[in-house]
Structure formats: structure tokens, C-alpha cells
Structure 1
Amino acid sequence: MQNTRFKTISKFFLVGLFVLISTGLKSQILEPVKWKFSVKELANDEAELIFTANVDDTWHIYSQTLPPTAFEMPTVFEFDKSDKYKRLGKVSEPTGKTYYDEDADAEIRIHEKTVVFKQKIKKLSKDNFTITGLVDAQACQDGKCVPVKEDFSFSLSGAEAEVSAEEIAMIEEQEEAEEQEDSEADLISAEDDFVIDASNPADSDSLWGFFILAFVLGLAAILTPCVFPMIPMTVTFFMKSGKRGKFNAMMYGLSIIAIYVLFGSVLAVVFGEDFGNWISTHWIPNVLFFLIFIFFAAAFFGYFELKMPSWLVNKSVANEDRGGIIGSIFMALTLVLVSFSCTGPIVGTIVVASAGGQVLKPIIGMLGFSLAFALPFTLFALFPGWLQKMPKSGGWLNTVKVFLGFIELAFALKFLNVPDQTYGWGILDREVYLSFWIVIFILLGLYLIGKIRFPHDSESPHIKSFPRLSLAIISFAFAVYMIPGLWGAPLKALSGWLPPMDTQDFDITNIVREHSGEKTVNICDEPRWADRGLKIPHGIKGYFDLDQAKACAKELNKPVFIDFTGHGCTNCREMESSVWSRPEALNLLENEFVVVALYVDNKNIQLPEDEWYTNEKGRLIKMLGDKNSDIQISQFNQNAQPYYVIIDADGNMMNTPQFYNLNPSVFINFLKEGLENFNKKYR
């Protein structure tokens, strides 16, 4: 009896243990996004397909269109072909939130919590039909990302009326026009462009940061030769007006702000959201901005002067005599026009910076700039005693102007870098970019110590001011800091500003390792897909196909290091730059393992048709990224990246796989343990 009871309890225990283990294994597959699909019937045989994504807390998905420099993967809606309906326009989405990505040097739009995408369609069939397809997205949480794929299906009733051939032709013509527009836009996912549903507020953090930047630039504009000398003259004029002087000075300051904010409002209307997307992605505006910044820099150096038309200035001056509020307004307008030769490049910088962002950005930028610009005129009129403490005008004002010219010159390269990387022109490789910056900041240092003069400079100054000496030291030090980057030093402080390391033609670290015998090339044949832009960091030689890597590992009798990674995986890049780069880790990866990088989010490489297959979920796998993602899920029961696995040539794991962990010792011990277990088994 006791024996039977023991067997029964044992069975229950084993079943329970199996359930717990199965649940634990299943829970390793992260599913942070749940999708719901519904249909809303509209008039005229139209319908609206509604895609509702419920995103877990702390997670987010990305917009359908991202800047070309972004590593993240956009949300894509793939519709199966059908003659039963036609899509009307593009998939719409909420405004979402934006944040600044330093690596991409651009604003990235994301969606959190509940997100609703909509697609209007026109029914063409009188019979009931079904619309099917796939949502392909990426969900991320603090740099950890997982692919999100969901098949969708919508059941619709047939059209009530026959659709004329003319109407079908009109819809098809509209579709062709949209496809042409998308291809010209040349975005990451051009054929899946989208419409913004402006129902959510813009990200206030980036606007505050932009406001502060514009405010600082407004203060810088005051310290230019066209503006600074006008402060005491303007304040003295208001002081002579008696009791109304302070009131008129207040109106003068408010008028300056109003003029610039009005200018910003006009820009906001002109730019809009769609223009902002075009600005941040297309080569034409970026090359144009590069040339504009060069033009502004030349103006600051004094090679020519930016001036408003004289008739416009004269007309404004003539209206100053009206006095009172009207006179103050025209005095403010005169200041804006007369100071344009100095403030124009600064205002232009703010305009360019705001062009690729949110609609409010030009208004916020002009508000910040004008507030700082108007502040001294108003404050000195209210407190005239402060005038006695003002520094006198002199050559130092032109120094400020030239200093800003060098900064404009350095920033100009950033705009050229965007299309250069996106379109693969190869003009600004990393060392070329660094060479320009090094020369620019050395010249700035030489200027500050008086070794170089520009057209509006007086005699070469002695370095009597400590701020001038400090700026010269900082400029030279910055140039010296960048010099090792010419030979492949990572320069982590500038990683968000420089072209990627894989554009570096001369990396002395790799060259030394290759010629000193420290580096072993653990490849047996030409890596498959290497000619399609896939790379392994730090010049490590390896594969991008698991079967090819396992075959080589068998030939060399070495373990395989699998790197499940992604183009849009921020934590992957952080691991590679902070942990893989350690000499001991790099030595192990290069000499002891056959390395294979499996990009799970690659959308550009299609497998040969004879390699297509249907996975366990019944989904046809024909893209390299989908295959790699399926390998990670089906063989290792994981879908998050980075994920590191050490196996033998037969696919047996040598130790416990590793996730994201910035402790170098943990990663190095993981490599050593896997290697040691392999050696015990096979050597």
C-alpha cells in the first residue's frame, strides 16, 4: 500500500517538475508585444484595418520610418498580394515619442504601451474575402532587443456595388505614384512609408534640450562685433526718454522676441513633420546644409559680409521716429536687420538643427535664441548702473566671431557624413573625417595664440586673457586626443560623431596582431554573405552562416563561438566596444574559436530559393535574418540579443550561454570555460 502511494506521489512530482521545466523554458522566449486585429467598415465599400499593439511596460517598438543612420529596425507591414482589394494610402501610426540617438546622430521615433496602426482599403470583390500578411517589428528594452513577427488575418464582407474599371485604374495610379514617391525618398523601408496620426504629444525632453542650446547660441550672438557695441548706445537712448524709457525698453526686448518667434512659426509651417523626415534621410538637404555651414564659416572668418538689403534697413530706421511702442518695434526690427551679418550664421545653425525634428522645434529654437539675445538690452535699460561693469569693445569681439566660424566648419562635416554613410560614397572614411577635425582644431589653437590672422583681425594679439589661453589649450588638447584615432584608436568620447570603425582603412592594432603571429585566422574558406556588408567587430575573421562555421570548426578541431546579434541591437554594440575589445577576450576570440555572427534582424539578404523552408510555426523562411532568428528560437529557446553560445562542430553546447553583461571578467571566464570543456572532450 505504501509502495503504491509512493509511486503515485512520485508520478505527480515528476509531472509537476516537467511542467515547471517546460514553463521555465517557454518563459525564456520573450513576447513583449501582443497584437489584436480588427476591421471597421466604412462607407462606399471601404474599410479600415486596425492593428493594435499592446507593448509591455518598459518596452517599446519603432516607427515605420527611421533615419538611414539608425541601427534599430522599423515596424513593417507586409501585405500578401490579392486582387480582392486595394490599399488606400499608407499605414498610419500615432506620433509616439522621439529621443536622440547619439550613434545615429538623429531623432528616433518609438511607440510604447498601446499603439494603433490603421490602413484604409477599397473592396473590389463582391464575394467575402480575407486579407493576410505579416507584421515585422523589433521590440527593445534598455538596449535589449527581440524580433517581433506576427501573422495577421482580416475577414471582410464583399463589396455591395460593382467597382468600375476607371475607379480601379485611378486607385492603381495612386499606388504607383506613392511607390515612386517612396523610392525617391530613399528611406530604410521606403516601400512601407507611413502617415503620422498626430494624437500623442511630442517628447518634451528633446525640446527642452534644444531650447537650452538655442539660448546659449543667443548669448554667443551678443558677443559679436555687430551686436555688443550696440548695447550701450541703445540703453543710453532709452535712458534719455525719461520715465517711459524703461517701458519702451521692455517693449523693445519683447519685440525682438516676437520677431524671431514669428520667423520660427513660419518655418514650422513650412517644415512640418513630413519635411522633417525628408530632411533627416535624403542626401540633398544634408549636402545643402554642409555647403551652408561652409558658407557661414567663411562669413564668420570675414571673407565676406552677410547684409540685409539697404532699402529694408532704411525703411525700418525711418519708422523708429514714431516713438512709443511703434518706435520700439521698429528699433527692434532695425537691430535684427543690422546685426544679421553676425547673427545670420547663428540663426541659420538653429534653423538647420530644427529642420529635421518636430514641428515645434523652429518656434522653440527662435524663442530660446531671442530670449537670450533680448535679455541684455532690457536688463541694462532697467539697471543702467550695470553699464559701468561692461567690458569695452575691442578685437576680442572678432575673436568670438572667428571662434564660432571654426565650430561651424567642424559641424559642417557632420552633415556630409550622413549621406556619405547612407549611400556608401566613401568620401569621409573615419581617418579622413578625423584628419579634417584635427587640422581645424589645430588652426583654431594657432589662431587663439595669435599665429594666424583673418581679414578683420587687428595686429597679432599677445595672450593677455586667461580665457583665450584656456581655449587655446583645450583646442590643442582636443586635436592631440584625436590623433591616435588615425591609427584605429576607438575614441569612445566621440563615437557618436565619427564614421563607424569599419570605414577605417588603417587600423594599426589589427596590423600588429596579424604580423606578430598573435592573430590566427580561423576560417577555412570565403565566408558566405561577407560581400553583402556583414562584418564582425575589431577585424575578427569569421562566418555569417552557422553550417559553414561548424564545417570549418570540424576541420580545425576548434569550438564555435556563436554571436546572436542584430544591426539594431544597442547592447550588442556596447558589449563589442567595452568587453570584446579587452586584449584577453580579443585574443581568445581570434585564436581559439571559429566565430560566427548571426544577424537576426537582417532584411537585405534573401536565401537562395532552394534553401527556403517552413518553420515549426508554419511560416515560410526565406530571409537570412529570419533564418538566424529561427535558429536561436528553435535550437536554443531564446530570442533576445546579444546571446553568446559555445558549441562543438556537432552543435553540442560546451557551457551555459551568456547574455548581456558588461563585466569583462564574466565574459572572459565564459570563453575560457567553454574552451576548457571542449579541450577535455576532443583534445
Structure 2
Amino acid sequence: MKKLLTIWMLLVAFVAAKAQMMDPVHFTTQMKDLKNGEAELVFKATIDAGWHVYSTGLGNDGPISASFHKNKMDGAEPVGKLQAHGKEIKQFDKLFEMEVRYFEQAVTFVQKIKFTKPQYDIDCYIEYGACNDQACLPPSEVTFKQSGKSSIEEEASVPKDAPEVDTAKVVAPVDSAVVANDLWTPVVSELQAFNGNAAPTESMALWLIFIEGLLGGFIALFTPCVWPIIPMTVSFFLKRNKDRSKAIREATTYGASIVVIYVLLGLAVTLLFGASALNALATNAVFNIFFCLLLVVFAASFLGAFEITLPASWSTKIDEKSESTTGLLSIFLMAFTLALVSFSCTGPIIGFLLVAVSTQGSIVAPTIGMLGFAIALAIPFTLFAMFPSLLKSAPKSGGWMNAIKVTLGFIELAFALKFLSVADLAYGWHILDREVFLSLWIVIFGLLGAYLLGWLKFPHDDDKHRTNVPQFFLAMASLAFTIYMIPGLWGAPLKAISAFAPPMSTQDFNLQKTVTEAKYKDYEQGMAAAKAEHKPVIIDFTGFGCVNCRKMEAAVWSDPQVADILNNKYILISLYVDDKTPLATPIEVEENGQKRTLRTVGDKWSYLQRVKFGANAQPFYVLLNEEGHPLAGSRSYDEDIQGYIEFLNKGLK
């Protein structure tokens, strides 16, 4: 999941549609003889950065758990269950509506066995699931095969320094087919020709984070804690130096010092926690409760209940230090004083920003966000120092600043509910289901509109204050947003806020009937229907435990235009790569020079995806003609609805 300040952060998780093979988990195996008639089968994995492997015993409704399976165990038998060792991370997953456990960087799975005969012959494997923020691999296997003498014989017969055998190899695809027909013919090169090299890069996400920070800085700029300080500070520099060019240099240095201070804050957050820890913290239930309560306190302060200030001694000491020093250090300490004095207004905005970008899993994201925030905050100090005459035309402090504080208070209350929603889902309280959440947001933004129109007043408001033109337009926007949310109480998808509200599954009363569901879940049957109806095919490689697949179905497939094309103009085939239904007859295939048995329906579809299309991550969408050849490039996780429609239309053309 994702904690957000603005709706455009939803577009950060944008990945390439180009088909590609992924091999992010690397296993070695060995048998450790315990010399007491028992041994341990050890499966040790190293995991590429950004990926994680799920732990054991997560249940049938969650992601793919690591599990032990045996093909043959002659002379030995398992003892207990598969054990996972490593730094296990626990995190609530909103789409699965459960707590999941997984490992990053490394994990070791251990299965204890007991020898029952002097000779043993073992053929077994573990199955595991791996995901990153954009895709999940199908259920993957690591095999272990070994035979020999067991330790239940006389100990002298066992070599004391017997080497550990590394026998595991992760299965990789080759150009072979399960059935002898043209529908399984590989089309990897054809897909690559369609896809080309036009893939979005991660820098797009960093630009969005920078803009996010810039927006936060401009909002903070117009608060009562910052705006009144600007003319006083600029006047100080101009009076301090009769040489105007020197005054401009010092004011510019002052602005640069502000940037340095806030960028250092972003770096400190990253160094203290790290990207993965920040992401885990941002989705932790206890942290979300704490941040919810913190936002409620800040909101009460903005609404006029009380004032939050840092100890006066802090800013006083820094201010005194700046007066007793000279040069660049003096200016830097003045900027640090500004940061302390303005904390009550900038603190909540900075908190929003850091929590929002932490979910991106990027080490540089907090620093980039704080850079944008600081630049927006520093601009007016430099600008007014260069052009002092602008100070005369700048708006004076007054009631409009109080209106900004109150508006921020309402917005903080709304976001406090978002954080509380995560904790509510984690603990299963069901006190903030979707319709309750929307009801509270409708009330909050309705009251905000009433306040901006002057129908509602708080203790620190001026009784004679009238609604000005900007407030009028903001009130219109707030009330329009309130009306927009009302149909959501009866199940309207409300796509603009779908990432903020609890999932649709928590809604008790839902009149929404638009459903996009595949008629075929078998490749051969779907292709036969396409040939009979002379329609193109869209294959949806998906999984019951695929998080991003559910996101695509909720955000993109629910669109009426997308649903119409999928339901009426294509044969939609959904192939679940984690379907555990046993095949009527197991299928023997050869990959990487080794034989492998496809035992389940999911094994078969996963093999099809690898062999025919050269990809192994879900979701994965490909458009085919009735002969099984691509009509356009492939597509992966991307919530751009218009882009998905264009993708479908390419196939139709």
C-alpha cells in the first residue's frame, strides 16, 4: 500500500509493459547430517533488491506461502513442518485484508527429516512465492535430489568430512511445448518487436515526488507561521547592508540555508530508517494509529483549540547564537531559527510528505521530496531581496491566513481517518468500513465548504470577516467534492479517491453491478471459442494471490469503456498461475536440460507464459489472434485507463 497527500501520487507505481523474464531469487541447497538418525534439508536463498519472498503458513487466502513437498522419500520421512529463518517482516496487506510475513535480501528454509533405512533416496522440492512492488512471480520450485547411506548405520561408516552437496537449481524456461500444436509456439521475438524500447523510467516517479514537495512548500508558505516572517527577514537584510548587492547575496544565502536544512532532514530520515523500514513503518498498524492521533491534535490546534509551539528556549538560544556569530554561520543559524519557529505550521505538512514518499521504497525519495519543499519555502526570501518593491504589493497578514489554517485543519482530519482505516483493517475492528469512512469525509468536506462561505465560525475567527472570492471558489470545490462522494454510499467506485477509501469488500450496501469476468479459464478452450466466433483474444495471466492483479481489476477493468471492450469485442481468458487444481495427467517437460513435472493447472499456465511469451510476472496481458500470434505489445501493471483502452484498440485494429 500507499500513504498519500495528493491524488497524483497514485501514478508513481508505473511500470514497463515490455515482456521480460525475471529471476530475482537464487537458491542453493544442502543436506546437514545431525548424526542421530536425523538430518536437515537446507534451502538457502539470496533475494535481489526490491523483491521479497513470502514466509510459511500464510493460509489459503493470502499470497503464496513457502511449503515443502516430496516426490519420493525412500528411507526417510519429514519431521515437523518447513521452518523459515531470517529477518522476517510482518506487515498488514490491505488488499489481502490480512497480515503477511516475508523476507528481504536473504532467507533460509529448513526441513528436518528422519532416516528410516540405511539407504535413502530423496526427491523433493519447496514451493515459494516472490513479489516486488510492481509484479509477482508464479509459484516457483527449488528441487533437492540425493541418495546415499544414512547415519543410522554405524557412525564409522560415514565419512566425517563429507562435503555438502549443492543440488538445487531454480527452474528456468526453454523453448519447449506442453502440447504439440501451434498455439504453444513461442512468440517472444514478435512481442519484443511490438513493445520496442519505450519503457517509463523511475525518474518519472522522482519528478512527481519533487512536485509533491514543491506543492507542500507553497502551502506552508502561506501559513501564519511563515508568511509574516518574510517581510521582516528581507527588511533586516536590506537595513543591515547599505550595499544592496551584498544584501541580495545574504538573502540568497539565507534561502539556500533553508534548502540545506530541510534536505538534511530528508537525508536523516533515510539514513535512520532506510527505504524498506520506512515502507514497513508506513503500513504498520500501530504507527498509523499514532499518526492518526497526531493529525487530530494538529487539526484541533489549527481549528483554534490551542497553540502548539516548540519550547521558546530552543529558538531563543539559536537566535542568540546567530547574533553572536558572523558570516555564513550567522545566516545559517537564522534559517534554523525559522525552521523551529514555523514548526507548528510546517510540521504536519512535512509529516504528510515523508509518510507519503516512504511507501515508494526509494532511498532518495525523502530527500527529493524535502528538496522540493525547501525550494518553495526559500523562493520568496530571495525574490523579495532582489526586488524589494514587491514587498509593497505583497498581501498583508490577516484573516485570510486564519482561513488557511482552518482549511488545513479540516484536511488533516480527513487524512487522519485514512491512517485510522489502515489500523482498522489490520485489527479487524470493522468500525470504519467504506460507507462509514465516506460518511465522515462527506461531513468533513461539507463543513469545510460551510466554513469558507462564512456559515461556520471558530473562536479565533473575525466576526466581521466576509467571504472573499478565493474562499468562494474553494467552497464551491469543497461542496462539489462532497456531492461527488455521496453516490459512493451506494457502491459507486469513486475512482478519484479509491486509494484513500477502504476496499469495496467492506461496503455493506452496494448497488454497483458492472462486472468484468473471464468466461474462459482454460487456454485451449478460450482459443477454440475465439476461432469459432472470429474474435481476437486477450490473455490475462493472473493469480489468486496477485495483489496488483486485483488493483488492475478494481481500477481499470471497472471502467465502463474498458469493460465493454473486454466483454463484447474480445475473448477474455484468465489463466491463474497459482491454481492448485491437479492436472488429470501430470505432464513431463524438459527445461535447462532437466526434466520437470507439471502437476497442477497453475504449473501449466505458468509454463505457457514462460515458454510462449518469455515472461513470468503477473499481471501480464497479451493480445492474440485466433492462431495464437500477437496483435500488439504486451502490458503489465499500469492503472492508466486511457492507455489500457489504446492498448485494446491496437489489437482490434
Q: TM-score range by the shorter chain?
A: 0.5 to 0.7
TM-superposed deviation, 1:440: 1.0
Q: Determine if contact 2:53/2:130 at 8 Å carries over to the other structure.
A: no
Cα 1:147/1:240, change in 2 over 3 Å: same
Partner of 1:191: none
Partner of 1:382: 386
**Higher mean Cα deviation, 575-584 or 365-374?**
575-584
Equivalent residue runs for 1:71-110 within 5 Å? 78=67, 90=86
Q: Does 1:578 align with 2:577?
A: no
Partner of 1:20: none
Cα 1:160/1:579, change in 2 over 3 Å: farther
Partner of 1:235: 234
Q: Within 2, Cα distance between the matches of 1:263 and 1:442?
A: 36
Partner of 2:339: 336
TM-superposed deviation, 1:353: 2.6
TM-superposed deviation, 1:584: 12
How big is the alpha-carbon RMSD for the aligned residues of Structure 1 and Structure 2?
5.6
Partner of 1:429: 433
Q: Within 2, Cα distance between the matches of 1:36 and 1:278?
A: 21
Partner of 2:143: 152
Equivalent residue runs for 1:444-463 within 5 Å? 444-459=448-463, 461-463=465-467
Q: Does 1:133 align with 2:122?
A: no
TM-superposed deviation, 1:451: 1.0
Q: Determine if contact 1:431/1:504 at 8 Å carries over to the other structure.
A: yes
Structure 1 residue matching 2:224: 3-state secondary structure: coil
Identity of aligned residues (%): 38
Equivalent residue runs for 1:211-226 within 5 Å? 211-226=210-225
Q: Within 1, Cα distance between the matches of 2:46 and 2:336?
A: 51
Partner of 2:402: 398
Q: Within 1, Cα distance between the matches of 2:619 and 2:521?
A: 16
Equivalent residue runs for 1:585-664 within 5 Å? 600-601=577-578, 615-617=586-588
TM-superposed deviation, 1:455: 2.8
Structure 2 residue matching 1:304: 3-state secondary structure: coil
Partner of 2:280: 278
Q: Determine if contact 1:249/1:381 at 8 Å carries over to the other structure.
A: yes
Q: Within 2, Cα distance between the matches of 1:211 and 1:36?
A: 32
TM-superposed deviation, 1:374: 1.8
Cα 1:629/1:153, change in 2 over 3 Å: closer
Q: Within 1, Cα distance between the matches of 2:328 and 2:147?
A: 65
Greater relative CO, 1 or 2 (CA 8 Å, sep 6+): 2
Q: Within 2, Cα distance between the matches of 1:311 and 1:209?
A: 38
TM-superposed deviation, 1:461: 2.8
| Aligned AA (2:345) | C
Q: Within 2, Cα distance between the matches of 1:139 and 1:272?
A: 19
Cα 1:159/1:290, change in 2 over 3 Å: farther
Equivalent residue runs for 1:507-522 within 5 Å? 507-508=510-511
| Aligned AA (2:270) | A
| Aligned AA (2:53) | Q
Q: Within 1, Cα distance between the matches of 2:145 and 2:424?
A: 42
Q: Determine if contact 1:614/1:620 at 8 Å carries over to the other structure.
A: no
Q: Determine if contact 2:577/2:603 at 8 Å carries over to the other structure.
A: yes
Structure 2 residue matching 1:370: 3-state secondary structure: helix
Q: Within 2, Cα distance between the matches of 1:121 and 1:586?
A: 44
Q: Does 1:495 align with 2:486?
A: no
TM-superposed deviation, 1:231: 0.9
**Higher mean Cα deviation, 498-507 or 429-438?**
498-507
TM-superposed deviation, 1:382: 2.3
Q: Determine if contact 2:449/2:474 at 8 Å carries over to the other structure.
A: yes
Partner of 1:371: 375
Q: Determine if contact 2:67/2:127 at 8 Å carries over to the other structure.
A: yes
Q: Within 1, Cα distance between the matches of 2:25 and 2:309?
A: 59
TM-superposed deviation, 1:314: 1.6
Q: Within 2, Cα distance between the matches of 1:427 and 1:149?
A: 38
Structure 2 residue matching 1:616: 3-state secondary structure: strand
Unmatched runs of 5 consecutive residues or more in structure 1: 1-29, 54-59, 67-71, 93-100, 106-115, 164-201, 511-536, 546-561, 588-595, 645-657, 668-683
Equivalent residue runs for 1:229-378 within 5 Å? 229-242=228-241, 243=243, 244-322=246-324, 323-356=326-359, 357-378=361-382
Q: Determine if contact 2:259/2:371 at 8 Å carries over to the other structure.
A: yes
Q: Within 2, Cα distance between the matches of 1:36 and 1:406?
A: 46
Cα 1:62/1:129, change in 2 over 3 Å: farther
Could you state the TM-score of these two structures normalised by the residue count of structure 1? 0.58
Structure 1 residue matching 2:125: 3-state secondary structure: strand
TM-superposed deviation, 1:79: 5.6
Question: Which string of whole-angstrom CA distances, capped at 9 and with x for unpartnered residues, describes residues 18-50 of structure 1?
Answer: xxxxxxxxxxxx994579977599xxx999956
TM-superposed deviation, 1:468: 1.4
Structure 2 residue matching 1:615: 3-state secondary structure: strand
Partner of 2:421: 417
Question: Which string of whole-angstrom CA distances, capped at 9 and with x for unpartnered residues, describes residues 485-522 of structure 1?
Answer: 11122223322322222221112456xxxxxxxxxxxx
Q: Within 1, Cα distance between the matches of 2:85 and 2:294?
A: 35
Question: Which string of whole-angstrom CA distances, capped at 9 and with x for unpartnered residues, describes residues 43-102 of structure 1?
Answer: xx999956799xxxxxx9964369xxxxx997865566979xx9995499xxxxxxxx99
Partner of 1:680: none
Structure 2 residue matching 1:384: 3-state secondary structure: coil
Question: Which string of whole-angstrom CA distances, capped at 9 and with x for unpartnered residues, describes residues 291-345 of structure 1?
Answer: 2222222222221211111211221222232343232222212212222222222
Cα 1:478/1:632, change in 2 over 3 Å: same
For this pair of structures, how many residues does the alignment match?
A: 499
Q: Determine if contact 2:357/2:366 at 8 Å carries over to the other structure.
A: yes
Q: Within 2, Cα distance between the matches of 1:380 and 1:416?
A: 42
Partner of 1:524: none
Cα 1:509/1:571, change in 2 over 3 Å: closer
TM-superposed deviation, 1:246: 2.5
Question: Which string of whole-angstrom CA distances, capped at 9 and with x for unpartnered residues, describes residues 553-604 of structure 1?
Answer: xxxxxxxxx99963422554467413599799999xxxxxxxx9996547xx
**Higher mean Cα deviation, 362-371 or 393-402?**
362-371
Q: Determine if contact 2:52/2:130 at 8 Å carries over to the other structure.
A: no
TM-superposed deviation, 1:633: 8.2
TM-superposed deviation, 1:257: 2.2
Q: Within 2, Cα distance between the matches of 1:375 and 1:117?
A: 42
| Aligned AA (1:211) | F
Question: Which string of whole-angstrom CA distances, capped at 9 and with x for unpartnered residues, describes residues 225-248 of structure 1?
Answer: 121111111111100122332232
| Structure that is richer in helix per residue | 1
TM-superposed deviation, 1:103: 8.3
Q: Determine if contact 2:94/2:425 at 8 Å carries over to the other structure.
A: no
